[in-house]
Amino acid sequence: MKKVFFKTFGCRTNIYDTEVMASSLGAFERVMSEAEADIVVVNSCTVTNGADVGTRGYVNQQNRLGKKVVLAGCGALSKGQELFDKGLVFGVLGHSERENIQSLLSRPAPFFEAGDLTSIDQKIVSEYEGKTKAFVKIQEGCDFRCSYCIIPLVRGNARSQEEEVILSQVKTLAKNGYGEVVLTGTNIGSYGKDKGSSLGRLVGKIGAVSGIRRVRLGSIEPVQIDASFREILGEPWLERHLHVALQHTSPQMLRLMRRRNTIEKDTELFWELREKGFALGTDFITGHPGETPEIWEDAYRRLEALPLTHLHCFTYSKRDGTPSSTMKPQIAGDVAKERLKQVTALVEAKNFAFRKANVGVVLEVLVEEKEGNVCAGYDQFYNRVKIHTTKDLTKEWVSLTRHEAKETHNEAIF
């Protein structure tokens, strides 16, 4: 039996896609170590030029080790032909071909199957190796055309999974002991637009499934928090943390980025959500072309006024083939990194203040790991909690009535 190792780069959606492939291996055996593998499937990311470089470096490394390499993921669309033509990969497997992986890996000759960008997985993933929570992919693709982003070109336009398929998967996961599900996709806030439904309606039905204690969402856009979503904000099973993608807080930069949100409405929305008790995260790009010192100062001032607790911040990285790649003026890398440090420090301080203000709140923690006499997991606000205990609480839910806010996390004794 041939042994297959999956190397996953990039986002949560890729984590799910890897599980789809792994559950479709049939006669092949999945292994968790590259050293044991005969075949290495690289589930690649192509969001930046740097991501492509990382994929190529890993592919070259596995070739030197004598592995048969198959390229999957977003990089299969952007760089697959090049790597295949150079003989650097044995096969290329596009998004629509994931469930055909057994037959493709069985081929004796090299293969190139890029597939199409109109399909959506029908495979239901019911187990996650070594995970305490489960990922559920609810849609694929994106209709936004942000100037810095290549993803719509390699994932296609937004399309939703059938509701009954999603609910069937959630019910199976709940029966298998997964009390927390994380909804993922390319742009999950677009769910239902092609089905006469909405994200809010879907999440409401997921939360009603017996055995589901917490529903966590991936990133959503500010303009996607509609009336149906607001209806579920008070539900106890909805994680009290939302990641609402802003990307920037300057009106000029948002226009350059071809974003659909405005900072005035974003500010109103964030304070509305904070008043309902939510911890709030966002994405932020520093150093995008056109981010002058004056624009940066204005953006930072506006960022200071937002009730943020979490941050996914990164410096702009040029992606060939996007409108941003040709924009001027380009921002020096050291300047972008310094701005990133400023934003990171600001939100870390806001997170600490939020956690100190919530010291009297009962924390509901799903324990994910144990090392020595310390267990760790995340609470309903998506803050890390370390629990000092002599018990092995891994995969258990723990209610902490008392805890202490440390600089980077919360701590408790149980």
Domain-located, residue 53: yes
**In the 8-state DSSP scheme, what is residue 359?**
T
Q: Indicate whether 236 and 318 sit together in one domain.
A: yes
CATH number assigned to the domain comprising residue 85: 3.40.50.12160
Q: Is the peptide bond before 152 cis (omega within 30 degrees of 0)?
A: no
pLDDT value of position 125: 80
| pLDDT tens for each residue of 187-240 | 999 999 999 999 999 999 999 999 999 999 999 999 999 999 999 999 999 999
User: Residue 366 forms beta bridges with which residues?
Assistant: 378, 397
Say whether pLDDT at 49 is over 90: no
φ, ψ (nearest 5 deg) of residue 156: 90, 180
Position 93 pLDDT exceeds 80: yes
Q: pLDDT, tens digit, for every residue of 244-262?
A: 999 999 999 999 999 999 9
Cα–Cα distance between 139 and 164 in angstroms, integer?
13
- pLDDT for 128 beyond 80: no
Instruction: Output the pLDDT for position 239.
Output: 98
Tell me which long-range contacts 30-34 makes (C-beta under 8 A, separation of at least 24).
30/3, 30/4, 30/5, 30/6, 31/3, 31/4, 31/5, 32/5, 32/129, 33/5, 34/5, 34/7, 34/62, 34/65, 34/67
Residues 106 and 158 grouped into a single domain: no
Instruction: Tell me the per-residue pLDDT of 53-84, one tens digit each, with 9 for 90 and over.
Output: 999 999 999 999 999 999 999 999 999 999 99
- Domain presence at residue 99: yes
Residue 309 and residue 338 in one domain: yes
* Distance separating alpha carbons of residues 283 and 243, to the nearest angstrom: 8
306 and 222 co-located in one domain: yes
One-letter amino acid at 334 equals D
Q: Judge whether residue 123 has pLDDT over 90.
A: no
The pLDDT value given to residue 340? 97
Give the pLDDT of residue 124.
74
pLDDT greater than 90 at residue 166:
yes
Q: Which of 330, 357, 384 is the last residue of a domain?
A: 357
Domain identity same for 157 and 295: yes
Among 112-116, 254-258, 398-402, name the one with the lowest average pLDDT: 112-116
> What proportion of the chain, given as a percentage, has pLDDT over 90?
90
Last residue of a domain, one of 78, 113, 148: 113
Mean pLDDT in residue range 264-282: 97
The gap between the terminal CA atoms of the chain, to the nearest Å, is: 46
| Averaged pLDDT of the chain | 95
Whichever domain contains 261, its CATH number is 3.80.30.20
pTM of the predicted model as reported, rounded to 2 decimal places:
0.90
- Residue 252: give the domain boundaries: 134-357
Cβ-count burial 357-379 (b if 16+ within 10 Å, e if not): ebeebebbbbbbebeeeebbbbb
Instruction: Tell me the β-bridge partners of 220.
Output: 244
300 in the same domain as 208 = yes
Side chain identity at 228, as an amino acid letter? S
Tell me, yes or no, whether 243 and 324 share the same domain: yes
The answer as to whether 170 is a domain residue is yes
pLDDT at 269 over 80: yes
277 and 368, same domain (yes or no): no
Q: Is there a domain that residue 119 lies in? A: no
Question: Is residue 177 included in any domain, yes or no?
Answer: yes
Q: Which of these three, 51, 84, 113, is where a domain ends?
A: 113
Domain of residue 387, CATH code: 2.40.50
Same domain, 276 and 205: yes
> Does one domain contain both 166 and 236?
yes
Residue 209 shares a structural domain with residue 340: yes
1 vs 160, residue with greater confidence = 160
pLDDT digits (tens, 9 = 90+) for 287-328: 999 999 999 999 999 999 999 999 999 999 988 899 999 999
pLDDT tens column, 340-373: 999 999 999 999 999 999 999 999 999 999 999 9
Q: Are 307 and 165 found together in one domain?
A: yes
Domain count, the chain: 3
Residue 129 lies in a domain: no
Written as six digits, the tokens of 398 are 């723990």
Residue 1 pLDDT more than 90?
no
DSSP-based three-state secondary structure for 329? coil
Please report, as a single letter, which amino acid is at residue 305.
A
DSSP character for 360?
T
Asked whether residue 127 is assigned to any structural domain, the reply reads no
Residues 118 and 95: their CA atoms lie apart, in Å, by 9
Residue 120 is assigned to a structural domain of this protein:
no
Mean pLDDT computed over 20-33: 93
Contacts of 123 (CB under 8 A, 6+ apart): 20, 23, 24, 98, 99
Contacts of 85 (CB under 8 A, 6+ apart): none
